[in-house]
Amino acid sequence: MTSPQRLTTAVAACLALVAAAALAPARAADAVPVRIGIIGSSGQAEVTEAIKEFGIDKKYGLDVQAVDYAQPGQQYTLFRGHTIDVAAAGNFVDVLRQRKAGLKLRAFHGYQGYGNQIVVKADSPIKAFTDLKGKKVGEFGPTFLDWLIVRAAGKKAYGIDLQNDATLVQGSPPLLNQFLARGQVDATLQFISLTMGPLLRGEQRVVTDLPSLMRAADFDPQSFYVVWIVDEAWSNAHPGALAKLDAVLDEAYEKLKTDDAIWTSLAAKVNIHDSKLAAAYRDTERRLDNPPYKASLIAPTQKLLDALVAISGEKAVGVTKVDPDAFWFPAKKP
């Protein structure tokens, strides 16, 4: 026969298990959901993958959910439809443009720094930016931020505005690589992610990159570029959650910076399976991702914006002022 003491102990243990089971769903329900829009095929899944892999969101009482989409710019449609709360990438001019159009968004963390390049075929006689004058140059579109910077920096540093001083050929980034390989353009502005393979294979050579052009024109290459953005409705609905998300991003970036193992699967997600190319991809992302994000960069970003408007006009740029209210600088310790 069970003694009264053992019976009491057994009942207490059962009650503890029941209580734990009842509390577990409550704790899960307490986690604040945050839907993050990403283009997974472009490498934007790196941070959300690291967050889930290491359970970083749970440490801060958040539940990060990745929402994949296909094309740049689609994130703003998703924001308007209240399908996402946060987007992994949006350049600072687009954020300002969208706010001007009435969409209540704010930047709150750096996503990526300047790094895109102007490339030529490996055997091209073009050696410097000045050699591009009079040549056929590929670009993505006349209002694309990087192109506006190429125009403004080239004009200020070398007296060359490629919009007027070269023959332009417009196309999608993958198509521009094909144009270059076939000799249909002499050079092209290109995403750094699409130059890694051709550079490793000795097919392309870098003439210059955006940071070098910006420095030559006395623009700060640490000016805001691509930033993390949040819907103000989400941050207002969850007081304190944005500071926590900011800390989650810091931890995720630290994991990406120090943990090599996770990069094998991340490279595979963007169809990189060659080990040398995967290593180049990892090292490039580590160099460009998580750039400085601080209030003191508003002034040099305004200087850059002034130059873009001066050479392209307000209509092409869409905005003239770096509105401080568009940028939130959360405390690093929520």
Distance CA 311, CA 165 (A): 13
Instruction: Determine the pLDDT at residue 42.
Output: 81
- CA nearest to 162, candidates 179, 144, 181: 144
| Residue 235 scores a pLDDT above 70 | yes
Q: Is 311 exposed, middle or buried (0-12, 13-18, 19+ CB in 10 A)?
A: buried
| Residue 19 scores a pLDDT above 90 | no
Give the range among 1-15, 106-120, 271-285 with minimum mean pLDDT: 1-15
State percent of the chain over pLDDT 90: 84
Q: Could you tell me the pLDDT band of residue 29, with boundaries at 50, 70 and 90?
A: low
Mean pLDDT, the chain, integer: 91
C-alpha pair distances (Å), 272 with each of 7, 44, 45, 206, 278:
61, 14, 14, 21, 6
Instruction: Determine the pLDDT at residue 125.
Output: 98
Instruction: Determine the pLDDT at residue 332.
Output: 55
Helix ranges restricted to H, 54-117? 56-59, 74-80, 92-100
| Residue 193 scores a pLDDT above 70 | yes
Instruction: Determine the pLDDT at residue 11.
Output: 43
Q: Is 81 exposed, middle or buried (0-12, 13-18, 19+ CB in 10 A)?
A: exposed
Query: E-assigned strands of the chain?
Result: 32-38, 62-68, 86-91, 105-112, 117-121, 136-139, 167-170, 187-190, 204-209, 226-231
Give the range among 49-58, 123-132, 265-274 with minimum mean pLDDT: 265-274
Q: Could you tell me the pLDDT band of residue 43, with boundaries at 50, 70 and 90?
A: confident
Q: Could you tell me the pLDDT band of residue 246, with boundaries at 50, 70 and 90?
A: very high
Q: What is the DSSP string of 225-242?
A: -EEEEEEHHHHHHSTTHH
Instruction: Determine the pLDDT at residue 241.
Output: 96
| Helix (H/G/I), strand (E/B), else coil: 38 | strand
Give the range among 6-20, 60-74, 255-269, 286-300 with minimum mean pLDDT: 6-20
Instruction: Determine the pLDDT at residue 107.
Output: 97
| Residue 200 scores a pLDDT above 90 | yes
| Tens of pLDDT, residues 130-167 | 999 999 999 998 999 999 999 999 999 999 999 999 99
Instruction: Provide the residue count of the chain.
Output: 334
CA angle, residues 239, 242, 247, in degrees to nearest 5? 130
Q: Could you tell me the pLDDT band of residue 30, with boundaries at 50, 70 and 90?
A: confident
Q: How far is CA 224 from the centre of its chain?
A: 11
Instruction: Determine the pLDDT at residue 40.
Output: 86
| Helix (H/G/I), strand (E/B), else coil: 111 | strand
Q: Looking only at Cα atoms, what is the longest distance across the chain?
A: 100
Q: What is the DSSP string of 164-214?
A: HHSEEEE--HHHHHHHHHTTS-SEEEE-GGGTHHHHHTTSEEEEEEHHHHH
Mean pLDDT of 167-181: 95
| Tens of pLDDT, residues 265-324 | 999 988 899 999 999 999 999 999 999 999 999 999 999 999 999 999 999 999 999 999
Instruction: Determine the pLDDT at residue 15.
Output: 41
CA angle, residues 303, 306, 312, in degrees to nearest 5? 140
Answer whether 264's CB lies under 8 Å from 293's CB: no
